[in-house]
Amino acid sequence: MQLDGRVAIVTGGGDGIGAGVARRFAAEGATVLVADVNEETGGAVADEIGGRFLRTDVGDKSQVLEMVATAVREWGGVDILVNNAWAPGELGRVENKTDDMLARGLGIGFYGPLWAMQAAFPHMKERGWGRIVNMCSLNGVNAHMGTLEYNAAKEALRTLTRTAAREWAPTGIVVNAICPGAKSAAFRRRMRENPELEKASGAMNPMGRMGDPEQDIAPAALFLASEGARYVTGNTLYVDGGSHINGVAWTPDLP
Ligand SMILES: NC(=O)c1ccc[n+]([C@@H]2O[C@H](COP(=O)([O-])OP(=O)(O)OC[C@H]3O[C@@H](n4cnc5c(N)ncnc54)[C@H](O)[C@@H]3O)[C@@H](O)[C@H]2O)c1
């Protein structure tokens, strides 16, 4: 059991990759706080793995602070933080993006993870041990079209990952990013709207398929959350069947 006795928070743990990570962490002995805006799915995952659910909107600072405070109150600290929550916005060109769209994207994708990291930091530092895993995206790395707020938030999160990795390196806290590629709830929704996407994403992937949240993505998160990652910090790990090698130039039809 690689995470025996560890306390983990997984944001967006009610579905997709977050649910896969929460299940895997629990199977490895962690006590998991599933923090999600969706009470139904989040509650179901928490019940299934014997964890705890807390309704949390990661775009709301007071709720993020309460999320960390809950783990500290219930279990005495936080060892592992997985910043994974995201909700896609509307596709659109740069010139049509509004301040509200940008604020929403940066709120969920950048500020939420930052607030969680700031709140968890003193508790991890006190124990001299911490693991932070931030879910980022090839979308941002390659600047895919139509998703400016997503790309900007995820690249800001990657630079936060590296900055915190440097500043916190002496404390026993390691901070890493994963750029995943998986058939999650979000991906299935997109496929329903865009049926050719499944074929196209398979064809663009060197392994010929999108990953499975629990079988393909969660093991990488588990490694970064484990004792074995103690000398690994500031990295971006592409867990995507090799998609990043060719860049996956997704070019949607935009108005
Ligand atoms: N699936 C992929 O191929 C892929 C690719 C690149 C990056 N990612 C990243 O991986 C992470 C997980 O993606 P996924 O595909 O599993 O998504 P998903 O839509 O399947 O799951 C996201 C979860 O986050 C929750 N959520 C949404 N908004 C929230 C909020 N404001 N506060 C708290 N919870 C919220 C949802 O309810 C859901 O349970 C995201 O950060 C995403 O950007 C995924």
Per-residue pLDDT of 201-251, as tens digits, reads: 888 899 999 999 999 999 999 999 999 999 999 999 999 999 999 776 667
Give 206's strand partners: none
Name residue 201's amino acid. S
Mean pLDDT over residues 66-90, rounded? 97
| pLDDT computed for residue 202 by the predictor | 82
Phi, psi of 139 (to 5 degrees): -50, -45
Check if 185 has its Cβ closer than 6 Å to any atom of ligand 1: yes
141 pLDDT tier (thresholds 50, 70, 90): very high
Check if 16 has its Cβ closer than 6 Å to any atom of ligand 1: yes
Of residues 191 and 126, the one with the higher pLDDT is: 126
The protein residue whose alpha carbon is closest to atom 30 in ligand 1 is 57
- Active-site positions read 150
Number of alpha carbons in the 13 Å side-chain half-sphere of residue 110: 18
pLDDT, the chain, mean: 95
Check if 181 has its Cβ closer than 6 Å to any atom of ligand 1: yes
pLDDT in tens, 110-125: 999 999 999 999 999 9
Q: What's the CA gap between 211 and 190, in Å, rounded?
A: 15
Check if 146 has its Cβ closer than 6 Å to any atom of ligand 1: no
Helix axes 39-49, 16-27, angle to 10 degrees: 20
| pLDDT computed for residue 25 by the predictor | 98
Check if 147 has its Cβ closer than 6 Å to any atom of ligand 1: no
CA nearest to 38, candidates 18, 16, 8, 14: 14
Output the six-digit token pair for 9: 């928070």
| pLDDT computed for residue 248 by the predictor | 64
Pocket-testing residue among 10, 82, 142, 184, ligand 1, by greatest number of atoms within 8 A of Cβ:
184
Q: How many A from CA of 19 to the centre of ligand 1? A: 10
Query: CA distances (Å), 154 to each of 34, 143, 171, in order?
Result: 21, 10, 25
Mean pLDDT over residues 37-62, rounded? 98
Output the six-digit token pair for 213: 């949240």
Name residue 171's amino acid. T
Dihedral (C-alpha) 177, 119, 214, 48: value to the nearest 10 degrees? 180
Phi, psi of 134 (to 5 degrees): -110, 125
Counts for the chain of helices (H) and strands (E), in that order:
11, 7
| pLDDT computed for residue 249 by the predictor | 65
| pLDDT computed for residue 153 by the predictor | 98
DSSP state letter for 215: I
Give 55's strand partners: 36
Mean pLDDT over residues 146-162, rounded? 98
Mean pLDDT over residues 26-30, rounded? 98
pTM of the shown model: 0.97
| pLDDT computed for residue 198 by the predictor | 78
| pLDDT computed for residue 250 by the predictor | 67
| pLDDT computed for residue 8 by the predictor | 99
Pocket-testing residue among 23, 86, 210, ligand 1, by greatest number of atoms within 8 A of Cβ:
86
